[in-house]
A = this chain, B = another copy of it.
């Protein structure tokens, strides 16, 4: 927007207040006063609109087409939920207003908590964490508080080698150490290796189930037994909860702590990378440690209460409230049966895609997957030199977003495809055909695949240069002579 800026221009129209103006000098003593004008940017409203609208035209989104970004669950985001979030009675409420003035919000939060507990099979939940990673850290601090309260100073948390990066990062921040558990050739937790790593210094294990290669950890009961056996707790990373909605519940699998990514499972829009919401649900034995204050039913109404042994606040206020409201609207619209159908179709779509692509991009693990499948371009690379990244970039030219690439780390040349349940069979077929075209071109004209994308607003971006010479603001650009 800075390229459109011209001093003296302004879009702002402030209301008439009728309050007599005062001189800044009379209010702020000179030692605190700015002695210059803070220059931001000077646009007319028309140019602001033009600029931002043109930016939006350079951005792919779920609303424009399929977004099979594995692990991220880029499903359709109902517009209805946006209207919920826009309700003045929800949006215009100050978070510090007394509970007597915010009964609607408290009821909404309590209802959501109940639904999330019913869906996961847990006893209670905190809605404060602002995203999945925040939920992880909150969950790990709950784990720590649980052990500490028993005078049990444990040290390690087990994590499969396929885990998402936030898991180990959260473990470090929780003060525990990461012990990695390898996966078997079947893509599941290696039970023997797990057993070998267990001990009474193990605080717990973090798992996603289905895991990040899209497979259900079929030995989950054994895992739970083993970990519980040494006094450890089971943590469920809910990024993949979409796959089992109404089909199975973490609580019934033996998990003690569960975070959910409402922006994935419950379709709140991702916002270009946030906001999300990462509520954490726990079993009975951990309820007392939950962050506070918590919204609770009380007499005829609702109030705030802080659990006896609460770990404390994990958010500046009550969590990403308007995201929570969207998620509740989604849950209420679907209901029990609807959520079950969501999981069914998420799994159906992923398996169909796995099977459909078998000839060109084989699955890393050739067995029924859940809501996503990880395929590998290793053979393609060996035959043509075309890598997973090239396939991804070529898909952009075909009008699709690319799958997640090079994650999980345990699969070579991984393409992680999560179609989600809201893509139609026709769209899946079109995606498959696009991949077929790309693979065919990889054989016939590999250079053209390396040169992709061509039809996008910009071509392949020089990431190395960005990291080498950091230009993170307009002012750095000016200093670097770019303007």
Hey, which chain B residues are within 8 Å of A41, CB to CB? none
Once the chains bind, are A50 and B63 in contact (CB under 8 Å)?
yes
Smallest beta-carbon distance A67→chain B, Å: 11
Hey, which chain B residues are within 8 Å of A427, CB to CB? 47
Once the chains bind, are B4 and A76 in contact (CB under 8 Å)?
no
Smallest beta-carbon distance A120→chain B, Å: 26
Does A426 count as interface, using CB distance less than 8 angstroms?
A: yes
Contact of A47 among B9, B49, B64, B424 (CB under 8 A): B424
Chain A 67-110 near chain B by CB (<8 Å), digits 1 or 0: 00000000010110000000000000000000000000000000
Hey, which chain B residues are within 8 Å of A63, CB to CB? 49-50, 53
Does A475 count as interface, using CB distance less than 8 angstroms?
A: no
Once the chains bind, are A76 and B426 in contact (CB under 8 Å)?
no
Q: Select from chain B the residue with minimum beta-carbon distance to A3.
A: B426
Roughly how many angstroms separate A57 CA and B64 CA in the complex, as a whole number?
Answer: 9
Once the chains bind, are A57 and B57 in contact (CB under 8 Å)?
yes
Once the chains bind, are B54 and A422 in contact (CB under 8 Å)?
no
Roughly how many angstroms separate A57 CA and B63 CA in the complex, as a whole number?
Answer: 11
Does A148 count as interface, using CB distance less than 8 angstroms?
A: no
Once the chains bind, are A46 and B426 in contact (CB under 8 Å)?
no
Once the chains bind, are B76 and A49 in contact (CB under 8 Å)?
yes
Once the chains bind, are A76 and B424 in contact (CB under 8 Å)?
no
Once the chains bind, are A76 and B45 in contact (CB under 8 Å)?
yes
Interface size on A, residues (CB 8 A): 26
Does A341 count as interface, using CB distance less than 8 angstroms?
A: no
Does A44 count as interface, using CB distance less than 8 angstroms?
A: yes
Hey, which chain B residues are within 8 Å of A76, CB to CB? 45-46, 49
Smallest beta-carbon distance A272→chain B, Å: 16
Q: Select from chain B the residue with minimum beta-carbon distance to A78.
A: B45
Hey, which chain B residues are within 8 Å of A65, CB to CB? 50, 54
Hey, which chain B residues are within 8 Å of A45, CB to CB? 76, 78
Chain A 1-38 near chain B by CB (<8 Å), digits 1 or 0: 00010100100010000000000000000000000000
Tell me the residues in window 401-440 of chain A with beta carbons closer than 8 Å to chain B beta carbons. Answer: 422-424, 426-427
Q: Select from chain B the residue with minimum beta-carbon distance to A66.
A: B50
Smallest beta-carbon distance A305→chain B, Å: 35
Hey, which chain B residues are within 8 Å of A13, CB to CB? 333
Which 10 pairs, one residue from A and one from B, show the smallest C-beta to C-beta distance? A46-B76, A53-B63, A46-B422, A49-B63, A53-B64, A50-B65, A54-B64, A47-B424, A44-B424, A50-B63
Please name 6 further chain A to chain B contacts, defined as beta carbons within 8 Å, in addition to the given A13-B333, A45-B78, A57-B57, sorted by A numbering: A45-B76, A46-B423, A46-B424, A49-B63, A53-B63, A53-B64
**27 interchain pairs, CB-CB under 8 A:** A4-B424, A4-B426, A6-B426, A9-B424, A13-B333, A44-B422, A44-B424, A45-B78, A46-B76, A46-B422, A46-B423, A46-B424, A47-B424, A47-B427, A49-B63, A49-B76, A49-B79, A50-B63, A50-B64, A50-B65, A53-B61, A53-B63, A53-B64, A54-B64, A54-B65, A57-B57, A57-B64
